[in-house]
Structure 1
Amino acid sequence: MTTLDPATTASALRGVCEIHLPGDPGYDAARRPWNLSVDQRPAAVAVPATTQEVQDLVVAAAAAGLRVAPQNAGHGAAALAADGLDDVVVVRLSGLSDVSVDPDARTARIAGATTWGQVVAESSPHGLTALHGSSPSVAAIGYLLGGGISCYGRTHGLAANSLRGIDVVTADGALRHADATEHADLFWALRGAGANLGIVVAAEIDLIAQPDAHAGMMMWDREHAPAVVATWASWTRDLPESVTSSLRIMAFPPAPELPPFLSGRDLVVVDGVTLEDDDEATGLLEPLRALEPELDTFARIPALGVLDVHMDPPEPVPGIGDHAMLGPLEDDAVAAFLGVLGPGTRSGVTIAELRHLGGALARPHAAGGALSAVPGDYALLCLAMAPDAEAAAAGRAAAADVIRAMAPWTLPTRIPTFTEARSDPATMFDVATRERLTGVRDTFDPQRRLVANHPVAAERP
């Protein structure tokens, strides 16, 4: 890794596009990621306003001996920062944000850092929606390139499979269109390996005809966790693929900005989407309602409202996360989960979440890319608030305790978009896929000018 003189970096990059260098008044704000606990300090932050500026930036950075790292809305920064950024230009694509919908073709074209909130807002007036995740503030393209676990995932599979075409600036500064017939190998690799291959400036996706859905959440005090977790685990074993849900144990601090029913409380929350008519959905939800939740919002809601069901933070927050993939949750697994998170425990984890997978998420797509399905029955995600270094260390240890407790049911795989830390690519792609990805990267980035959250091939010396 090379550390360049700031004057050299400034000379190479100034005038190409909006540039923020260490010492500039706007540098600290520009380098700030979504996870405020990550202190990334790149050689520069670039904010191109056009595709041509992206191309010019890539060429100028290469000429100066700098690498480039795409970062749309700032998610996933912990893994990126682990690589060291002294010779890296972080490319923030917030200057490229637009979505256009073709209601007849049921497609949307998305630019740069466009968020899922924007995409669904434009799609829903046409009775359409996208295979979005749980947060309206996540940039759609980064999510898509990492697979994408959708609120409709058990019915429709990974969101990456909805990609129809991708416009990408590769390491040589060229703008290429990749789809099933043009640069097909690049199209295959981008759907899973994303930023390893280029800076995606636009993508076209399939939309689904879904004007509304039966969706919502139920909430109990954590003292009811033994019954709720056991019932939810049993309930998910035989659910039709029309239901995608998650369970969270949440510990909220006493904070005035939180609603009174959340502030200072330890809770169990089940949320999800049921793609059935209201009568069928009501019948499916009956085992959970029998536990008498203190709050139950499940109802038919507009597609745009599904983005708010999971209650993800609308603004950047400081946090420490960890993730594991799990197999079936039988009684012993439920007992282990409750042993670290049930009533009376003090794990230090703010949120421990189980997302139900399987269904179409587990079936490889015939025309899919490098990541077209995920194994496993559940994804485990742990998050601890980390406003300072001491809290970060405690949160990291607390999350590790939960992951360790579930080790007997853990699979040797990870989902890229859920993985905060830099991880071995063998946990995300099998041997044959990694070899093919390496070959595609050798073609389009032989000098390893591109830096991704999760590299899929060894760096060049």
Structure 2
Amino acid sequence: MTQQATPPAVLRAESLRGLCGGSVQLPGDPAYDMARSPWNLQMRDYPAAVCYPAFPDEVAEVLRAAGAAGLQVAAQGTGHGAPPLEGRLDDAVLLRTSAMTELEVDADRRTVRAGAGVLWGDLADTAGRCGLASRHPSSPDVGVVGYSLGGGIGWYARRLGLQCNAITAVELVLADGTFVRASADRDADLFWALRGGAAPLGVVTALEFELFPLETVVAGALAWDWADVEQVLPAWVAWCADVPEEATTSLRMIDVPAMEPIPPELHGRQIVMVDGAVLGDDAFAREVLAPLRALRPQFDTVARVPAASLVRLHLDPEGPTPAYASSTLVSDLPDAAIAGILEAVGPGSGTRLAAAELRQLGGALSRPDPDGGALSFLDGAYLALGLGIGGGSDQDWERQRADAARYLAAVEPWATGRQYLPMLDDRTDTRKVFPPGVHARLSAIRRAADPGDLFLAPHPEHARPENA
């Protein structure tokens, strides 16, 4: 019988055993397969080791040991953003930050301190008990750190802007094991780059950011049968052109799964849904939503609800799920674009996507924040997102990827040329994300913070400052 040789990277990773109070898993260990699996179960990666530090000093020990062993490091909280690293972890240590669950709300200062393992559902509930809200995402099991540093398009984004620009301090461990607390007054270049910059500059252990007073908000969903999309889509686009920035919505064409908390009468149906929130009093919200309600939705859940409940408004899957997402930023949706969308993913298209989505941007999202970070605004009126879920066989996933590509190709003539990385599972050149001057500055800061390339970058950085 032939005995398979242990990969050299795994042999070198043996030097990490005993770190993190013993919370280190190597290939062959009983808990290794569970430890290596991210939220996105489509990924099949086999890192040389998986470590679970609970404190910054344990992070520093892992980084020093990994560097000494000639291994790179990839930090993950939940693993929602794992796909761009697929196939690149064999010679790397996967550093899980899920044990860092410190969460403290300062109601007087309207701020929160959140460890790198905190999830948005927990933060929304904790802040809500203080009558406060955050610029949270559309899913409760997304990690606070990953979403915040990547940008963050929440249900109040057209009024308040990106979540990354609400950050007031970032605590992290650099490649050499140094602990840093970056803010506008200290390590300002690093603080700027961390907020939306996409490059791994260290292992973030905690964030502090602003909250805002909000106990209840008008929010919910309007839904029509899929056959009505030819009427609903152009009407929603026309509504978006003039609606106040107090409203932030999305439109989705979706196959409704049979799952809680989706109402049973929608299970198994293909529908077009507009969901979102309107900041303001009830009369203002009724006036804003009147043109959409005039389209006579078959299903209407819009009402005044606790602000903390909005983290589940979008009905995103909770718990580890196989998924694929691809997106692009779009400047406009004229009649030709709408016709292309309907042909690509509308009735009769044969699309296998779980959802074809358009997220409404504009408002504060379109205005550069003078005090913001590397990503201070989004260049586009909409974000077009194709989402595959479940998949099954490799052939099923290829079909969903092809359908997502067909959807995005339909709006490509109106694409801005910029991309939003948190909703993009494929690797992309970061020059497509940032303007040349911003990209050049980010590249210089990254080389200064990690001159030995200890950290694996999810997306390539092809441009040098002199060429950017």
The TM-score normalised by the length of structure 1 is 0.95
CA distance in 1, matches of 2:263, 2:306: 23
Of 429-438 and 240-249, more deviation after overlay is shown by: 429-438
Cα distance change, pair 205–302 in 1 and its aligned pair in 2 (3 A)? same
The answer (yes or no) to whether the contact 1:40–1:77 under 8 Å persists in 2 is no
Deviations 1:61-97 (A, max 9, x none): 1111111111111111110225x11111111111111
Residues 193 and 456 of structure 1 are in contact (CA less than 8 Å); yes or no, is this contact kept in structure 2? no
Change (3 A) 1:408 1:457: closer
Q: For 1:388 and 1:14, how far apart are their aligned partners in 2?
A: 38
Question: Which one of the candidate residues 54, 64, 70 is aligned to 1:65?
Answer: 70
Secondary structure of the 1:261 match is helix
* Shift, 1:260, TM fit: 3.1
For 2:42, the equivalent position in structure 1 comes to 37
1:443 corresponds, among 421, 425, 448, to 448
Q: TM-score, normalised by structure 2?
A: 0.94
Matches within 5 A, 1:292-307: 292-307=296-311
After superposition, the C-alpha distances for 1:298-341 in whole angstroms (9 at most, x for unaligned) are: 11111111111111111221122211111111222111111122
The one-letter code sitting in structure 2 at the alignment partner of 1:80 is: L
| Residue pair 1:438, 1:457 contacting (<8 A) in 2 also | no
Picking from 439, 463, 467, the partner of 1:434 is 439
2:134 maps to 1:130: yes
- Residue 23 of structure 1: CA displacement? 1.3
Map of 1:19-418 to 2, 5 A cutoff?
19-82=24-87, 84-194=88-198, 196-252=200-256, 260-385=264-389, 386-418=391-423
Counterpart of 1:306, as a letter, is: L
SS at structure 2 position matched to 1:110: strand
Quote how far apart the aligned CAs of 1:253 are. 5.6
Structure 2 CA distance for aligned equivalents of residues 285 and 343 of structure 1: 26
Structure 2: which 5+ residue stretches go unaligned?
A: 1-6
CA gap of 1:107–1:5, structure 2 versus 1, over 3 A, is closer
What is the CA–CA distance in structure 2 between the aligned matches of 1:124 and 1:117, rounded to whole Å? 10
Distance 1:104 1:423 in 2: 42
**Alignment deviations for residues 174-214 of structure 1 (CA, whole Å, 9 cap, x no partner):** 11010001111110111112552011000100001111111
- In 2 relative to 1, CA 255–245 (structure 1 residues): closer, same or farther, beyond 3 Å? closer
Rounded to whole Å, the distance in 2 between the matches of 1:110 and 1:257 is 28
User: What count of residue pairs does the alignment treat as equivalent?
Assistant: 456
Cα deviation, 1:423-448, whole Å, max 9, x if unaligned, reads 10011111111111111112110011
C-alpha distance in structure 2 between counterparts of 1:357 and 1:148, whole Å: 12
Runs of 4+ in 1 over 4 A off after TM superposition: 253-259, 455-459
The separation in 2 between residues aligned to 1:294 and 1:258, in whole angstroms, is 14
Unaligned runs of 5+ in 1: none
Q: Letter of the aligned partner of 1:396 in structure 2? A: R
Q: Contact 2:327–2:385 (CA<8 Å) still a contact in 1? A: yes
User: Using the alignment, how far apart are the partners of 1:72 and 1:5 within structure 2?
Assistant: 23
Task: Give the percent of matched residue pairs that are identical in Structure 1 and Structure 2.
Answer: 40
Q: Does 2:425 correspond to 1:420?
A: yes
